[in-house]
């Protein structure tokens, strides 16, 4: 949704590493999550770039050096959209979210604002599907 705003290859690759870490939080990257990862590559116009993800990298290795507030906001919004996409906000995903919140220096209020927006976006998507599929 907002990844097209990322300009540097470094930020794009970091986001993909982060998204892969989140998608694999439960030990398995499901079909829907693989679809998201591919869509991210397409949106950032790096679909052909071959990136290998290391299971050795920790969250702080990936996002600990981010300084640009806009980039942090994009990462956080997109990752919350990914986390809430399957309707299952498990403990591992919650931990990653809280760690991102801490690393980015977000307040509880900022976190809740992002989370509320993501939930409303999901509800709007469901409403749109119903409008389209129910005559």
- Name the residue with higher pLDDT: 6 or 57: 6
Calpha distance 27→64 (Å, rounded): 23
Rounded to two decimals, the pTM is 0.86
pLDDT digits (tens, 9 = 90+) for 69-90: 999 999 999 999 888 876 667 8
3-state helix, strand, coil in the chain (%, to 5): 70, 0, 30
Virtual torsion, Cα 49, 58, 75, 65, nearest 10 deg: -100
CA dist 62 and 112 (Å) reads: 23
44-83 burial code (b ≥16 CB/10 A, e <16): bebeeeeeebeeeeebeebbeebeeeebbbbbbbbbbbbb
Query: Architecture of 3-133 per CATH?
Result: Orthogonal Bundle (1.10)
In this structure, the chain runs to a length of 135
Residue spans of the domains in the chain: they are: 3-133
88-130 tens-digit pLDDT: 678 888 899 999 999 999 999 999 999 999 989 988 988 998 9
């Amino acid at each position: 949704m907002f990844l097209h705003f990322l300009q540097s290859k470094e930020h794009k690759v970091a986001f993909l590493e982060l998204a892969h870490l989140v998608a694999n939080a439960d030990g398995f990257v499901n079909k829907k999550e693989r679809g998201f990862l591919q869509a991210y590559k397409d949106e950032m116009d790096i679909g052909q770039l071959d990136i290998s993800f290391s299971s050795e990298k920790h969250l702080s290795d990936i996002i600990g050096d981010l300084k640009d507030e806009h980039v942090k906001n994009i990462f956080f919004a997109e990752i919350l959209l990914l986390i809430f996409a399957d309707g299952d906000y498990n403990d591992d995903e919650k931990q990653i979210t809280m760690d991102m919140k801490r690393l980015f220096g977000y307040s509880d209020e900022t976190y809740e604002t992002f989370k509320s927006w993501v939930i409303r976006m999901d509800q709007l998507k469901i409403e749109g599907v119903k409008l389209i599929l129910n005559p």
